[in-house]
Structure 1
Amino acid sequence: MALHSLMFSLLTVLLVLARTEPVLCDFTSIFSFGDSIADTGNLLCLKSDDHSFRFPYGETYFGHPTGRCSNGRLIVDFMAQSLGLPLLPPYLAQTNGQDFQQGANFAVSGATALDNAFYEERGIHNICTNNSLGIQLGWFKELLPSLCDQSSNCLNFFSRSLFLVGEIGGNDYNHAFLEGRSLEEIRTFVPGVIDAISSAVQMVVEHGAVTVMVPGNFPIGCFSSYLMVFQSSNEEDYDPQTGCLRWLNEFSMNHNHLLQKELDRMRDLHPHVSIIYADYYNAAMRFFRYPLQFGFSEGCLTACCGGGGPYNYNKSLVCGNRGARVCDDPSLYVSWDGMHLTEAAYKAIAYYILQGFKDIPDSSHQYLTFITSKELLQNT
């Protein structure tokens, strides 16, 4: 297994450096957990109505709403397509005889890493869903008997599966921030969120996962919803290059730093497992720093679809509701609805994660490989 992992990792790195097309690997299935960044239709199965179930959601690729919180495909969709796999079916849309042999999506829009009871005790209400990461892991366990019939078969099956644990944790903070809770209080949530993600990684590894990708959080200080809600007259609050709110991005970076430390600990515990940190933060920050170089010619902090105002975001008139304004060409925008990104942005992030990216001025990275050099060494 160690030799196979080494050869696989070396091949991946060579493909990353040599090609500009999506990297094709030998995964035969993907299992995804998370929130609206990855939900391909589970919330649609749980609720009769939500603004994301209405046009113009889904307009670009599918031509109709699918439950995805974007105008088209998500990161997980691009990953599946680049690996030669079908788009992941939402677990809750299963019918009798549904085949999940090529993967399943357990992510639910609005989901938190910590259980809903944690927030209810603090008076923070999740009006979207109570299907936290723990509940999603329970669904995965329910699905196991239909995937593999005994321990050895499961180990063989999951050795060729990619597990995507996240992005998750964003809503643990979003719900609290947007309800007006203090930064000091929300900082106390971070260790518990990291522990919940770590426990999820531990569980899938115990069931046979050998490749687990764990994304970090986005730079929420660049999201139009936050920029609108936390407008400030103090110029020092904003990054002069991007216009993003510094303190909110620093919060995201702190979450990501602690997450990476925990993943380092998990790698020491499981040296046979490739535990990959997917750097969603820096993948997205490229757009806000150099929008023109990525084809985003419109204001990269302005939502394509929303209720007007300086960032085209109005929490009283969100995308999908009557009266919301929609841009003519979403491919020119980073932000779709103020909380989520456009298909064009998600595509660029997926490529960043799967194949790396070329250096751009003042970038601290030249490329990001699918398997990092540290993981390569651990597999030897």
Structure 2
Amino acid sequence: MSLSIVACALLLTALASSQFVDGFYTSIFAFGDSLSDTGNYISLTSDGVLQYDGIPSCSVLPYGETFFHHPTGRCSDGRLIIDFIAEHYGLPLLPPYSGGGNANPGGGVNFAVVGAPALRDDVLEANGSYSRDNISMMSQINMFKSLLPSICKTSSCDEIFEKSLIVFGPFGGDDYASAILSKRVEDALRLRPLVINAVASAIEELIKLGVVNLMVPGMLPDGCMGVSLTVYYGSNEEDYDPITDCLTWLNEFAQKHNELLRKELTRIQQHYPNVFITYADYYNAGLQLFLSPEKYGFNNETGLIACCGSGGPYNVNDDAKCGYPSSHACNDPSSYIEWDGAHLTQAAYRWIAKGLLSGLYTYPNITAPSSSTSAMGM
């Protein structure tokens, strides 16, 4: 065989491999909380399944104003990270499952719900007028199980899952939030190993169902979020990072959560060598925006200030949240990193998704083919 023929064959192989990787996933199934919910919460609330006081979260304008021009249940002005992931693989935006059992699983389904905890209420020792067990991590997995007969109707589950990506999480933020925002940090520390163990067990349950491709996100830099900064406003100067002005100790809490999660992912990967697990580093992908806002097109003066709110040092007021009549949204959400103090703008989510899908913030690289099942190198 001549050198030119060999070179041509190698080139065709490389091109085919690249096309295979870029278009590998034919469906995506998502689990998580408000960072991933594409409409489950708004549907469950309207059906009376969830009873929350005040305006249903993320269900009124200006939520959704930038891209959809109406609220969809997404907690942002537009698309979320999961939306950009779906678009990257040429798939439709994931429809919410909404617990109805009528979802078309052709291109995937989203089970994520605003406020979803990793732990059950009895573990969280939750107090309140409603239960979150029916939207919890395990509840979402049970919804996934109930959909399996529809998912595997025309092909075997193994064949479907070979070309499906499971985006699992992030989970944990809603477990910690009540304690941290009530200044009960010790309670949050107590919950952390329980959350990590629960997430690890859930991942192994999915693997036993036949899932082979998983992306597992870590926590965002919560010390930079306006809601946390508002609660702890006026803390000692040494509590803040001198570059970002984020709460150092809270970012360290998130980093420790992520470190423990990665250790569990490494353990699971070693136990299931034929499964491809990638860790999505939401923390560092998001932190870059706060470190260098102008580099990514954001207004340096509003790096920690919410676009939508009703005043205060970070434009966050728990008595008049985004969407309440007394709140207002900024004129240009694309110049802001934070949308409502608890969630980011579409523009910020786009940058995070770009970092993940480029492989810069996924370990191992998400662009690697699923046959690459070596240890995660953590």
TM over 0.5: yes
Q: Which has the higher contact order (CA 8 A, sep 6+)?
A: 1
Task: Give the 3-state SS of the residue equivalent to 1:189 in structure 2.
Answer: helix
1:334 maps onto 2:337 in alignment: yes
Query: How far apart are the structure 1 equivalents of 2:131 and 2:66?
Result: 24
CA contact (8 A) 2:278 2:365 kept: no
Could you say if the C-alpha distance between residues 124 and 240 of structure 1 is closer, same or farther in structure 2, counting changes exceeding 3 Å? farther
CA contact (8 A) 1:109 1:129 kept: no
Amino acid at match of 1:142: S
How does 1:143-158 map onto structure 2 within 5 Å? 143-149=147-153, 153-158=156-161
1:251-307 CA distances to partner (integer Å, 9 max, x unpaired)? Answer: 000100000000010011111111110000000000010100000114110000012
1:107 maps to 112
Q: CA deviation at 1:335?
A: 0.4
Task: Give the 3-state SS of the residue equivalent to 1:30 in structure 2.
Answer: strand
CA contact (8 A) 2:60 2:71 kept: yes
CA contact (8 A) 1:124 1:175 kept: no
Task: Give the 3-state SS of the residue equivalent to 2:278 in structure 1.
Answer: strand
Q: CA deviation at 1:115?
A: 1.1
1:33 maps to 31
CA contact (8 A) 1:275 1:375 kept: no
How does 1:160-239 map onto structure 2 within 5 Å? 160-181=163-184, 183-239=185-241
Task: Give the 3-state SS of the residue equivalent to 1:92 in structure 2.
Answer: coil
Choose from 90, 96, 101 the match for 2:96. 90
Task: Give the 3-state SS of the residue equivalent to 2:295 in structure 1.
Answer: helix
CA contact (8 A) 1:165 1:200 kept: no
Query: How far apart are the structure 1 equivalents of 2:42 and 2:187?
Result: 32
Amino acid at match of 1:344: A
Unaligned runs of 5+ in 1: 1-9, 17-22, 358-364
Q: CA deviation at 1:117?
A: 2.2
CA contact (8 A) 1:110 1:126 kept: no
Q: CA deviation at 1:366?
A: 12
User: Given the two structures, how large is their TM-score scaled by the length of structure 1?
Assistant: 0.86
- Structure 1 runs (4+) greater than 6 angstroms displaced: 365-368, 372-375
1:13-66 CA distances to partner (integer Å, 9 max, x unpaired)? Answer: x969xxxxxx83310100000000000000011113514111000000000000
Query: How far apart are the structure 2 equivalents of 1:204 and 1:374?
Result: 17
1:369 maps onto 2:365 in alignment: yes
User: Given the two structures, how large is their TM-score scaled by the length of structure 2?
Assistant: 0.87
Choose from 44, 48, 70 the match for 2:42. 44
Could you say if the C-alpha distance between residues 271 and 31 of structure 1 is closer, same or farther in structure 2, counting changes exceeding 3 Å? same
Task: Give the 3-state SS of the residue equivalent to 1:47 in structure 2.
Answer: helix
Q: What's the Cα RMSD here?
A: 2.6
Task: Give the 3-state SS of the residue equivalent to 2:105 in structure 1.
Answer: coil
1:81 maps to 87
Could you say if the C-alpha distance between residues 189 and 11 of structure 1 is closer, same or farther in structure 2, counting changes exceeding 3 Å? farther
Amino acid at match of 1:303: A
Query: How far apart are the structure 2 equivalents of 1:133 and 1:367?
Result: 23
CA contact (8 A) 1:74 1:343 kept: yes
1:361 maps to none
Unaligned runs of 5+ in 2: 1-12, 47-54
Task: Give the 3-state SS of the residue equivalent to 1:32 in structure 2.
Answer: strand
Could you say if the C-alpha distance between residues 277 and 231 of structure 1 is closer, same or farther in structure 2, counting changes exceeding 3 Å? same
Structure number with bigger Rg: 2
Query: How far apart are the structure 2 equivalents of 1:72 and 1:275?
Result: 28
Choose from 260, 263, 271 the match for 1:269. 271
Query: How far apart are the structure 1 equivalents of 2:304 and 2:234?
Result: 15
- Give the percent of matched residue pairs that are identical in Structure 1 and Structure 2: 47
Amino acid at match of 2:261: L
Query: How far apart are the structure 2 equivalents of 1:334 and 1:11?
Result: 38
Amino acid at match of 1:62: F
Query: How far apart are the structure 1 equivalents of 2:176 and 2:43?
Result: 25
Could you say if the C-alpha distance between residues 99 and 212 of structure 1 is closer, same or farther in structure 2, counting changes exceeding 3 Å? same
Q: CA deviation at 1:232?
A: 2.9
Query: How far apart are the structure 1 equivalents of 2:353 and 2:99?
Result: 25
1:280 maps to 282
How many residues end up aligned between the 2 structures? 351
Could you say if the C-alpha distance between residues 34 and 273 of structure 1 is closer, same or farther in structure 2, counting changes exceeding 3 Å? same
